[in-house]
């Protein structure tokens, strides 16, 4: 599977001003300390390539949701410090992303210098894909590189609008890897191909369930969305999360998969809690015996065994969405056990961003996965076979 878009290694960067859209939307704690820098690390191959080509490297990103105005807690300054450590060289920081101060800083850059601009979303023009804002960003650059897969599904000024105003544009190495890994897994999988889908809601994954349902050999459903399927099949689910308007859809997907020879796995037992209070009583019950008034919070040990056996002989595994409320210790076992099972399978293993990436990281299995996507929403959109504006805006390979 090869990306049809022009990539950074096909463009002359020498001594040029190269604006790279990166995805530095990293989690921060209350003290504005970075708690996971994997998105910064993922951009290093592209940044280092541009530095080695003696480009003047200008980086831009968003962080959080500051709603179009400056907010100290969403400043990219801590990211500049971390990036400096990771690159082993100074990283300049601009206190805005457009305007005279930025233009002045860029004009003083020497080949090989790295400058990080302040949060793009401090300006309302970014999310509105405003032409004037996009043109101001573009004025800083001779070459534009989009390496922010995590925002490729958004039509923003720094991902789409900017491409109208720069002469040369291309995809970065991370964008290339992400698209090739995800599309390759779905379009040309080595079989047996197993999809593991979790998370809270069926509605958020309708497209993925439909798109993958036609391509996989096995589907494993866990997390909150499993209860919609369990209820659709006529079972009591207590006070577990459910989407009543999705029951017919869930039943249809289940029947369609069975009719087409796709093996469809649902949890056979679960860990339930008497209330949502962290200190509430918990117990393990079969999915047909969830007590009225109780909440399903994780898959149980029998489901772990069933799902682990289902992935054992897989050659391609695609996983998107945790199996339970893994952020709480009492309900993390199902997700972590499945992470170990996926890691131990002799398969190409692709983890679709967001919560799943965090869960795999907490289970200590990140290094055992073939590919972990940096973009949750973007990965979902690509797996639905949907249009990706940030990718579509880049020129095709000549």
Give which of 349, 321, 315 is closest to 335, Cα–Cα.
321
204 is catalytic: no
* DSSP summary character for residue 164: G
- Using one digit for the tens of pLDDT, what is the confidence trace for 278-303? 889 999 999 999 999 999 999 999 99
At the fourth CATH level, which superfamily is domain 189-383? Phosphoglycerate kinase, N-terminal domain (3.40.50.1260)
- Using one digit for the tens of pLDDT, what is the confidence trace for 312-355? 999 999 999 999 999 999 999 999 999 999 999 999 999 987 78
Give the angle subtended at the CA of 326 by the CAs of 322 and 331, to the nearest 5°.
120
pLDDT for the residue numbered 160: 97
150 is catalytic: no
**Confidence bin at 3 (pLDDT 50/70/90):** confident
In the chain, % of residues over pLDDT 90: 81
- Using one digit for the tens of pLDDT, what is the confidence trace for 73-118? 999 999 999 999 999 999 999 999 999 999 999 999 999 999 999 9
At the fourth CATH level, which superfamily is domain 8-175? Phosphoglycerate kinase, N-terminal domain (3.40.50.1260)
377 is catalytic: yes
The residue annotated as part of the active site, out of 39, 121, 205, 333, is 39
Q: What integer is the mean pLDDT of 44-48?
A: 98
Q: Where do you find CATH 3.40.50.1260 in the chain?
A: 8-175, 189-383
- Using one digit for the tens of pLDDT, what is the confidence trace for 5-28? 999 999 999 999 999 999 999 988
Give which of 42, 72, 283, 70 is closest to 178, Cα–Cα.
42
- Using one digit for the tens of pLDDT, what is the confidence trace for 49-58? 999 999 999 9
39 is catalytic: yes
Asked if the peptide bond before residue 192 counts as cis, ω within 30 degrees of 0, the response is yes
Going from the C-alpha of 37 to that of each of 153, 352, 394, the distances in angstroms are: 22, 17, 27
The residue annotated as part of the active site, out of 82, 128, 201, 362, is 201
pLDDT for the residue numbered 274: 94
Whether residue 315 contacts residue 192, with contact meaning beta carbons closer than 8 Å, is answered with: yes
**Confidence bin at 214 (pLDDT 50/70/90):** confident
Helix, strand, or coil (residue 173): helix
Q: What integer is the mean pLDDT of 260-273?
A: 95
In the chain, % of residues over pLDDT 70: 99
Q: What integer is the mean pLDDT of 208-226?
A: 90
Q: What integer is the mean pLDDT of 179-208?
A: 88
**Confidence bin at 1 (pLDDT 50/70/90):** low
pLDDT for the residue numbered 114: 98
Whether residue 320 contacts residue 380, with contact meaning beta carbons closer than 8 Å, is answered with: yes
The residue annotated as part of the active site, out of 112, 204, 207, 377, is 377
Whether residue 295 contacts residue 240, with contact meaning beta carbons closer than 8 Å, is answered with: yes
The residue annotated as part of the active site, out of 199, 324, 353, 354, is 354
348 membership: H or E segment, kind and range: strand 348-351
């Amino acid at each position: 599977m090869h990306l049809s878009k022009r990539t950074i290694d096909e463009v002359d960067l020498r001594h040029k001003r190269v604006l790279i859209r990166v995805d530095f939307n990293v989690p921060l704690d209350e003290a504005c300390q970075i708690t996971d820098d994997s998105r910064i690390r993922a951009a290093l191959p592209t940044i280092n390539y541009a530095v080695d080509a003696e480009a003047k490297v200008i980086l831009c990103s968003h962080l959080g949701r500051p709603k179009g105005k400056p907010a100290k807690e969403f400043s990219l300054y801590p990211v500049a410090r971390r990036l400096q450590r990771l690159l082993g060289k100074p990283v300049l920081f601009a206190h805005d992303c457009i305007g005279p101060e930025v233009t002045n800083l860029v004009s003083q850059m020497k080949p090989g210098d790295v400058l990080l601009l302040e949060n793009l979303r401090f300006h309302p023009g970014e999310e509105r894909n405003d032409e004037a804002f996009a043109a101001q960003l573009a004025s800083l650059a001779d070459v534009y590189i989009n390496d922010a897969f995590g925002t490729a599904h958004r039509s923003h000024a720094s991902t789409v609008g900017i491409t109208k105003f720069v002469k040369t544009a291309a995809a970065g190495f991370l964008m290339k890897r992400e698209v090739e890994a995800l599309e390759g897994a779905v379009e040309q999988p080595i079989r047996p191909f197993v999809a593991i889908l979790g998370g809270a809601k069926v509605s958020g994954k309708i497209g993925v369930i439909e798109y993958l349902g036609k391509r996989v050999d096995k589907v494993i459903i866990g997390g909150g969305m499993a209860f919609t399927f369990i209820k659709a099949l006529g079972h009591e689910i207590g006070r577990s999360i459910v989407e009543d308007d999705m029951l017919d859809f869930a039943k249809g997907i289940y029947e369609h998969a069975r009719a087409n020879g796709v093996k469809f796995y649902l949890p056979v037992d679960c860990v339930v809690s008497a209330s949502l209070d962290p200190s509430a009583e918990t117990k393990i019950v079969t999915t047909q015996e969830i007590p009225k008034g109780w909440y399903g919070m994780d898959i149980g040990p029998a489901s772990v065994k069933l799902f682990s056996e289902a992935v054992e002989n897989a050659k391609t595994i695609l996983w998107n969405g945790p199996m339970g409320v893994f952020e709480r210790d009492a309900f993390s076992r199902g997700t972590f056990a499945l992470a170990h099972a996926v890691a131990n399978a002799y398969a190409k293993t692709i983890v679709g961003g967001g919560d799943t990436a965090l869960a795999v990281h907490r289970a200590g299995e990140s290094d055992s996965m073939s590919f972990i996507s940096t973009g949750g929403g973007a990965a979902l959109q690509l797996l639905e076979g949907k249009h990706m504006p940030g990718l579509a805006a880049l020129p095709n390979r000549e």
